[in-house]
């Protein structure tokens, strides 16, 4: 082989490797959704639901797809809007029966403007917050402009989406009575047949204690979305004991500067033998429920 031919072979091999690398990266990037797309449509056809803890980095966004429509709990940050939008479009989602905004912080309502503008939103469930931060005020005027129905989240009230029943279990005091905006988070217990889930927003230990006092054993569930991204100020020993979930989910960003989920929380989860799944390590996390069995599919 001449020097020229050897060089050619090296260049062609390198180019082939590059193309292969690009293809496999592409497959890896979309694997999250492609993997489960068939399963998801079959679940809906058979009357089941799917629950998606979407990987939006350091923020929350949870999608519940039911045969009777969709519900979205929080919308990630403003900068994660493209990720959220492409996830929803891949699943061919065009509308939401309910958009729940747990509390007015950027990592929960940051993408809400995009959702209101680009999807058909029937109802927004939120508290009567008097926060005067810009992102929240802008959202309020957008909700007005798009004429979306707003339902105030009141503890004890329920709303339905077909067979899925969601009950507001927090906040249990008026907005101004909390020291932290996090603890004003709307917390939902969702029930579908035998499957039950609790979504806590960023509720902290004080709100957890109020829920225990108010709802007791009703807090028992299969999946608990850990409060405040797995921070040590949430997921108290008492709350984990009474909710006694099989799975706990931490929605947090890779190498986040807050150290979420906290070592203390992981220790408590270990004590109760609760399996921890986390979006920073697992990417988007998906469960399905047929009304009897809850299955972790991704
Ligand atoms: Zn948060």
pLDDT in tens, 119-158: 999 999 999 998 889 999 999 999 999 999 999 999 999 9
In a domain, 64, yes or no: yes
What is residue 17's predicted lDDT score, i.e. its pLDDT? 61
User: What's the whole-number mean pLDDT along residues 228-238?
Assistant: 97
What is residue 176's predicted lDDT score, i.e. its pLDDT? 87
Distance from Cα 182 to the centre of ligand 1, integer Å:
7
Distance from Cα 16 to the centre of ligand 1, integer Å:
44
How many domains, in total, are found in the chain? Answer: 1
Distance from Cα 233 to the centre of ligand 1, integer Å:
12
Q: Are 225 and 239 in contact (CB under 8 A)?
A: no
Distance from Cα 102 to the centre of ligand 1, integer Å:
9
- Listed residues: CB within 5 A of ion ligand 1: 107, 202
Residue in this structure with the two tokens 């912080």, named with its chain if needed = 105
Distance from Cα 197 to the centre of ligand 1, integer Å:
18
What is residue 28's predicted lDDT score, i.e. its pLDDT? 41
In a domain, 21, yes or no: no
Average pLDDT, the chain: 91
* ω into 78 cis (within 30 of 0): no
Dihedral pair phi/psi, residue 6, rounded to 5°: -60, -45
% of the chain surpassing 90 pLDDT = 83
Sign of the torsion formed by the C-alpha atoms of 135, 140, 145 and 150: positive
Least confident of 39-43, 126-130, 213-217: 39-43
Domain span at 161:
46-296
pTM: 0.88
Distance from Cα 229 to the centre of ligand 1, integer Å:
6
User: What's the whole-number mean pLDDT along residues 14-32?
Assistant: 51
In a domain, 148, yes or no: yes
Domain CATH number, residue 116: 3.60.15.10
In a domain, 176, yes or no: yes
The candidate with the shortest Cα–Cα distance to 115, out of 91, 152, 148, is 148
In a domain, 108, yes or no: yes
In a domain, 19, yes or no: no
For the beta carbon of residue 18, count every other beta carbon within 10 angstroms: 10
In a domain, 281, yes or no: yes
In a domain, 15, yes or no: no
What is residue 175's predicted lDDT score, i.e. its pLDDT? 87
């Amino acid at each position: 082989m001449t020097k020229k031919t050897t060089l050619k072979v090296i260049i062609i091999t390198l180019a082939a490797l590059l193309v292969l690398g690009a293809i496999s990266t592409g497959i890896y990037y979309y694997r999250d959704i492609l993997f489960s797309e068939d399963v998801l449509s079959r679940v809906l056809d058979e009357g089941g639901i799917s629950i998606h803890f979407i990987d939006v980095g350091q923020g929350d966004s949870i999608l519940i797809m039911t045969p009777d429509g969709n519900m979205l709990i929080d919308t990630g940050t403003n900068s994660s809007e493209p990720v959220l939008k492409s996830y929803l479009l891949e699943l061919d989602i065009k509308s939401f029966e309910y958009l729940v905004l747990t509390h007015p912080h950027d990592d929960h309502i940051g993408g809400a403007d995009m959702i209101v503008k680009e999807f058909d939103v029937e109802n927004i469930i939120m508290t009567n917050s008097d926060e005067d931060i810009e992102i929240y005020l802008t959202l309020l005027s957008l909700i007005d402009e798009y004429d979306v129905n707003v339902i105030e989240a009141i503890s004890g009230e329920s709303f339905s989406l077909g067979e899925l029943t969601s009950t507001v279990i927090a906040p249990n005091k008026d907005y101004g009575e909390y020291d932290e905006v996090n603890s004003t988070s709307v917390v939902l217990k969702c029930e579908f047949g035998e499957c039950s889930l609790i979504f806590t927003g960023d509720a902290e230990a004080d709100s957890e204690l109020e829920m225990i006092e108010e709802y007791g054993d009703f807090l028992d569930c299969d999946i608990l979305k850990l409060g405040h991204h797995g921070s040590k100020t949430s997921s108290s020993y008492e709350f984990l004991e009474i909710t006694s979930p099989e799975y706990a989910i931490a929605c947090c960003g890779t190498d986040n500067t807050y150290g979420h989920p906290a070592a203390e929380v992981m220790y408590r989860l270990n004590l109760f033998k609760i399996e921890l799944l986390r979006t920073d390590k697992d990417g988007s996390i998906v469960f399905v429920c047929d009304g009897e069995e809850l299955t972790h599919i991704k």
